[in-house]
Structure 1
């Protein structure tokens, strides 16, 4: 009889233990935040969700930041803002191995979710991994590997998730300021980004919008809390450092646009002075200058009007890098200039001056290295406008 009671007690204990495990330790769900890497596409870091199944023993990472290089017309779709990213799944071991090779640190925030919330999150990820659901139209600022995770948390927890944004850094930062934090030591990439993106990113980002950057989302998760589901508790219950590599302070490359563009400005200033003294135009320099600016203007125009990128609209770089400058370059090559050339030069001068005014008034922030280029455009359009008819024949 005593033995029978012990057996029944043991069975009850095992059942209660199993129930406890299933209720409290079915899943371990966490946010993984990865440090930036050396390449531009790695420069802003990365976010992913880890799902450890304690019953089955599986350990997977759900990653919204992947795309297929074999996509037909890959580069055309990328340039046009029509490239679809997708949710992919890898083992945790493979994920860590990748970042070990790249020597990029990984930090883990274990989420304090209830059993129902854990199940909902896993079901949400599984459904979104279905072939017909895993693809989405990527947007760097508003729909990327980080914002997809934030939106998943909002979906799963609803009004029980409180972000506590009042505890965020109060310094006002525009989207462009936020990007600059990561590419200051990549001056050419920084210049390219500033040339491609328009005035729409020169507004202050809200604390929620800052979460398009993995580092900022990591901070947002750290201050968030869960309410209305038992006692109020932090969203994050544990923090772990999975990989820890020393951050390398990348030096500014010796060949950068800052000193190179000032060198260009000095060259154009010298040839303008010599041309003034010798009564010459040195048109060849202007043909090269306006050809480059015109081609750049065509790219800006296409990014603004011919793509689905939301951040490339209202790009006032087009004031000084104008597509019509290509036509001007060809016109300057002719032995006899058309009368419209002087009118165009005046218009180009006014547009370059307007770009400076737009910059000063804060309509759009231009890359600092462009100051000498703007000065060159103003100098040469002014010089040619007043001297082209003196030193070169103009046809009727």
Structure 2
């Protein structure tokens, strides 16, 4: 039941049929910022615009973060970044009901806009809500539910909006910013670092940080309205709408760090006994390098066959390489051809090269891959020096 409600509330858009039909002008405009939820799609929080028309008491929330789960080939489009998000509208009451149900904090910043600025913003949103305009191609970093709101205010206020940025901001890469939110979801954290390439290991500008709702909330708190009488803060007042107890984070035993280090210790013991007994235990290598090869294919797919700009130049491919499938196949067939030995050497070099890329800051990898790199280096080194020798010894004994 809870899963069904998540789909209803957080995925399907609510369409409000009539928007401010009366020519009223007494608007109160607010930015709503919602804390992260427990699922990956809600892990970064959410932003929306509240428009309260006081005379008619019509109280609506404009939400750029919705999409239709019934879209044909939904998961294919989501993976390829060809899924369109949309601007939807719900009542303020329904919006709060959703976040109250999932116990996610909501804060409101009431904005100090003059009547004309408020009217222009509402008109901007009305135009955006037209069927031909409400859909947009979602981009997590550059075109999402938060940046759409930022862009709306920049379009309406123009030069009157001064973000009043900190002249010496704390430097954070896009990956650093993501890591602040996904640490409670260790496997999602691992998957994100596996899927996203070196292009996100650059410092984000203050304006670019606003792709995250919390950072946009901070930006609105600093911003000023200029050229419209005396300079004034953009935010007139702030208050907490919904407040719940802080969530307790417990990583649990099943996490990538413990799993991969357990696997690495097993590989070390396997290699030790293999050396002592003159055996390869190649079943482990077949399974391990098959898994890495499949991961490599996924990286290639995301790099070259999707429209995600953030999955380009992903140097995880140096250790999770599609060619490992050929190594697994060669081990399965038991071939002693020179290419197998040469490939082991190449895989060993590539794994060490990934460490070089990491150390010199070309790309930041997830820390839990250290034991995986250790296994690649250990097993390819072991196979390089022992594969042919053990195979020959086995044939002589027979």
TM-score, normalization: structure 1? 0.92
Aligned to 1:238: 237
Deviation at residue 309 of structure 1 after TM alignment = 0.5
- Counting only pairs closer than 5 Å after superposition, residues 1-396 of structure 1 correspond to structure 2 as 26-166=26-166, 170-392=169-391
1:77 partner SS = helix
Deviation at residue 263 of structure 1 after TM alignment = 0.8
Q: C-alpha distance in 1, partners of 2:309/2:61?
A: 29
Q: Deviations over 1:185-242 (max 9, x none)?
A: 2111100000000000101111101000000000000000000011100000011211
Deviation at residue 393 of structure 1 after TM alignment = 5.4
What residue ranges of structure 1 are gaps of 5+ in the alignment? 1-21
Q: C-alpha distance in 2, partners of 1:57/1:285?
A: 67
Deviation at residue 338 of structure 1 after TM alignment = 2.8
- What's the RMSD between the two structures over aligned residues? 1.4
Q: Deviations over 1:353-380 (max 9, x none)?
A: 0001100111001001110110110000
Deviation at residue 261 of structure 1 after TM alignment = 0.8
Q: Deviations over 1:172-192 (max 9, x none)?
A: 111111111111121111000
Q: C-alpha distance in 2, partners of 1:147/1:318?
A: 31
Kindly indicate whether the alpha-carbon contact (under 8 Å) linking 1:336 and 1:392 is maintained by their aligned counterparts in 2: no
TM-score, normalization: structure 2? 0.91
1:59 partner SS = strand
2:292 partner SS = helix
Kindly indicate whether the alpha-carbon contact (under 8 Å) linking 1:32 and 1:50 is maintained by their aligned counterparts in 2: yes
Q: C-alpha distance in 2, partners of 1:75/1:224?
A: 38
Q: C-alpha distance in 2, partners of 1:179/1:316?
A: 18
Q: Deviations over 1:280-333 (max 9, x none)?
A: 111101001100000000001100000000111100000000011112111111
Q: Deviations over 1:123-170 (max 9, x none)?
A: 000000011100000000110000000000100000110001126x72
Q: C-alpha distance in 1, partners of 2:260/2:166?
A: 42
Deviation at residue 384 of structure 1 after TM alignment = 0.3
Q: C-alpha distance in 2, partners of 1:206/1:111?
A: 24
Structure number with bigger Rg: 1
Q: C-alpha distance in 2, partners of 1:313/1:58?
A: 45
Which portions of structure 1, spanning 4 or more consecutive aligned residues, are displaced by more than 2 angstroms? 335-339
Q: C-alpha distance in 2, partners of 1:310/1:145?
A: 18
Q: Deviations over 1:61-81 (max 9, x none)?
A: 000000000101000000011
Kindly indicate whether the alpha-carbon contact (under 8 Å) linking 1:200 and 1:314 is maintained by their aligned counterparts in 2: yes
2:69 partner SS = coil
What residue ranges of structure 2 are gaps of 5+ in the alignment? 1-22, 394-398
